[in-house]
Amino acid sequence: MTTVIKNGTIVTHDLTYKADVLIEGGKIAQIGPNLTGDTALDATGAYVMPGGIDPHVHLEMPFMGTYSTDDFESGTRAALAGGTTMVVDFCLPNQGESLLDAIKRWDNKSTRANCDYSFHMAVTWWGEQVFNDMKTVIEERGINTFKHFLAYKGALMVNDDELYSSFNRLSELGGIAMVHAENGDVVAELAAKLKAAGNTGPEAHAYSRPPQVEGEATNRAIMIADMAGVPLYVVHTSCEESHEAIRRARQQGKRVWGEPLIQHLTLDDSEYFNPDWDHAARRVMSPPFRNKQHQDSLWAGLQSGSLSVVATDHCAFTTEQKRYGVGDFTKIPNGTGGLEDRMPMLWTHGVETGRLTMNEFVAVTSTNIAKILNCYPRKGAIAVGADADIVVWDPAKTKTISASAQQSAIDYNVFEGKEVKGLPRFTLTRGQVAIHDGEVRTQEGHGQFVKRAGNGVTNRALSTWKDLTAPRPVQRTGIPATGV
Ligand code: URP
Ligand code: ZN
Ligand code: ZN
Ligand code: ZN
Report the C-alpha gap between 94 and 114 in whole angstroms.
27
Overall average pLDDT of the 60-76 stretch: 97
Position 164 in a domain: yes
Give the residue whose CA is nearest to atom 4 of ligand 1. Answer: 335
pLDDT digits (tens, 9 = 90+) for 178-225: 999 999 999 999 999 999 999 999 999 999 999 999 999 999 999 999
288 lines ligand 1 (CB under 6 A): no
180 lines ligand 1 (CB under 6 A): yes
Res. 479 pLDDT band, cuts 50 70 90:
confident
* N- to C-terminal Cα separation, the chain: 88
Q: Rounded to the nearest whole angstrom, what is the distance from the C-alpha of residue 438 to the centroid of ligand 1?
A: 30
Give the residue whose CA is nearest to atom 3 of ligand 1. Answer: 286
Position 334 in a domain: yes
Q: Global pTM?
A: 0.97
Burial 322-361 (b: 16+ CB within 10 A, else e): bbbbeeebbebbbbbbbbbbbbbbbbbbbbeeebbebbbb
At residue 482, the pLDDT reads 83
Res. 465 pLDDT band, cuts 50 70 90:
confident
Position 192 in a domain: yes
Least confident piece of the model among 192-206, 342-356, 457-471: 457-471
Q: Rounded to the nearest whole angstrom, what is the distance from the C-alpha of residue 211 to the centroid of ligand 3?
A: 15
Overall average pLDDT of the 147-168 stretch: 96
Question: Which burial class, exposed, middle or buried, applies to 368 when counting CB atoms under 10 A from its CB (0-12, 13-18, 19+)?
Answer: buried
Q: Which atom of ligand 1 is nearest to the CA of 56?
A: 9
How many domains does the chain contain in total? 1
Position 270 in a domain: yes
Res. 478 pLDDT band, cuts 50 70 90:
confident
313 lines ligand 1 (CB under 6 A): yes
- The answer to whether the bond into 287 is cis (omega within 30° of 0) is yes
Position 262 in a domain: yes
HEC assignment per residue over 47-70: EEEECEEEEEECCCCEECCEECCC
Position 72 in a domain: yes
Residue 231's CATH number: 3.20.20.140
Question: Which burial class, exposed, middle or buried, applies to 162 when counting CB atoms under 10 A from its CB (0-12, 13-18, 19+)?
Answer: middle
- Is residue 407 within 8 Å of residue 434, measured between CB atoms? no
What is the extent of the structural domain holding 342?
Answer: 52-382+394-421
425 lines ligand 1 (CB under 6 A): no
- Is residue 86 within 8 Å of residue 446, measured between CB atoms? no
Q: Rounded to the nearest whole angstrom, what is the distance from the C-alpha of residue 31 to the centroid of ligand 3?
A: 39
Q: Which atom of ligand 1 is nearest to the CA of 151?
A: 8
Dihedral sign (CA 389, 62, 176, 143): negative
DSSP three-state, residue 230: coil
68 lines ligand 1 (CB under 6 A): no
302 lines ligand 1 (CB under 6 A): no
- Is residue 133 within 8 Å of residue 99, measured between CB atoms? yes
At residue 484, the pLDDT reads 60
DSSP string of 387-436? B--EEEEEEEEEEE--GGG-SSSSS--TTTT-EEEEEEEEEEETTEEEEE
Given a cut of 80, whether residue 483 has pLDDT beyond it is no
Give the residue whose CA is nearest to atom 8 of ligand 1. Answer: 286
- Is residue 330 within 8 Å of residue 266, measured between CB atoms? no
Report the C-alpha gap between 425 and 107 in whole angstroms.
31
Position 431 in a domain: no
Helices (H), 252-309: 262-266, 277-281, 292-304
pLDDT digits (tens, 9 = 90+) for 396-436: 999 999 999 999 999 999 999 999 999 999 999 999 999 99
Overall average pLDDT of the 293-306 stretch: 98
- Is residue 241 within 8 Å of residue 215, measured between CB atoms? yes
Share of the chain above pLDDT 70, in %: 100
Average pLDDT of the residues of the chain: 97
Overall average pLDDT of the 63-87 stretch: 98
* Adjacent-strand bridge partners of 18: 9
Question: Which burial class, exposed, middle or buried, applies to 25 when counting CB atoms under 10 A from its CB (0-12, 13-18, 19+)?
Answer: exposed
Report the C-alpha gap between 81 and 340 in whole angstroms.
6
Q: Rounded to the nearest whole angstrom, what is the distance from the C-alpha of residue 274 to the centroid of ligand 4?
A: 24
Position 341 in a domain: yes
Q: Which atom of ligand 1 is nearest to the CA of 334?
A: 1
DSSP letter assigned to residue 366: I
Testing ligand 1's pocket by substitution, the residue of 334, 336, 339 carrying the most ligand atoms inside 8 A of its CB is 334
